[in-house]
Amino acid sequence: MRQRNWRLIAVGTVLLVLAMLFFLSMRDMTAWSNDPIALMRAVGEVSGGVGGISLVMIVFGLIGRKAPA
């Protein structure tokens, strides 16, 4: 039987929410940007990277580790 790592799941979930909030909040900043396409490209890369790392953390937390015998 494997034990889930709830701390890893919680941190991954928080990072995923922060990545989504960052993307949505920066979307409103494009009105004041000189180059909105480049801004959203950079924001998308950063939030996508953080979102990908958080999904990996959630998956590894759900897989868990072996329970002590």
Q: What is the 3-state secondary structure (H, E, C) of 12-54?
A: HHHHHHHHHHHHHHHHHHHHHCCCHHHHHHHHHHHHHHHHHHH
Encode pLDDT of 15-59 as tens digits.
999 999 999 999 888 889 899 999 999 999 999 999 999 999 999
Higher pLDDT, 1 or 41: 41
